[in-house]
Amino acid sequence: MLKWIDIPPVWLIAFLAIAWLQAQALPLGLSLGEVLPDLVGGLLVGAGLLLMALAVYEMRRQRTTVIPHLEADRLVTTGIFSRTRNPIYAGDVLILLGFILTWDAILSLPLVPILLWTLERRFVIPEEDRLRRKFRADFARYAQKTRRWV
C-alpha cells in the first residue's frame, strides 16, 4: 500500500496543499499585479501539464510503464525524452511554481527546490539506477547525450 502512496502526484499534491495553506493563512500581498502572476503561473502550469502529457504519450507508445516503482520494459529516448530524461518530474516542478505564483504564495517559493530534491532522491536516482542496470550501454549513451532535467 505504501508503494502506491509514495508516487510523485501525491508529493505534488502535498506541496501544493502547503503552498495553498500558506497563501490562505499568511497572505503577504507581494503580488506583481493581478495579471502578470496569473499569466506566468498559468503558462507554467500549462507547460508542466504538456510535458507530462508528452511523456505519458511517448511511454505508452513505447509500451512501457509510467509507474515509478515498476521496472521499465523499454528505455524511452524518443519524443520529449530526447530533450530531458525526466519530463514528468520537471512538469511537477513547473506546476508547483505556477500555482505558487498564481496564489501569491511567495513564502512557499522554497518548496520548489525542496520538491525537486525530493523527486530526485525518491524517484529519479532509483529509476536511473534500475535503467542503468537493465539497459547498461544504451542508458550510458542516453545519459551522456540527454540532460537529467533541462
Instruction: Give pLDDT tens digits for 110-140.
Output: 999 999 999 999 999 999 999 999 999 999 9
Q: End-to-end CA distance of the chain, in Å?
A: 33
62's grid cell: 513505447
18 located within any domain: no
16 located within any domain: no
7 located within any domain: no
Which pTM value belongs to this model?
0.94
9 located within any domain: no
Number of domains within the chain: 1
Residue pLDDT, tens place only, 9-34: 999 999 999 999 999 998 877 666 77
11 located within any domain: no
Residues across the chain: 150
CA distance 79 to 98: 24
**Domain range spanning residue 132?**
32-145
125's grid cell: 536516482
120 located within any domain: yes
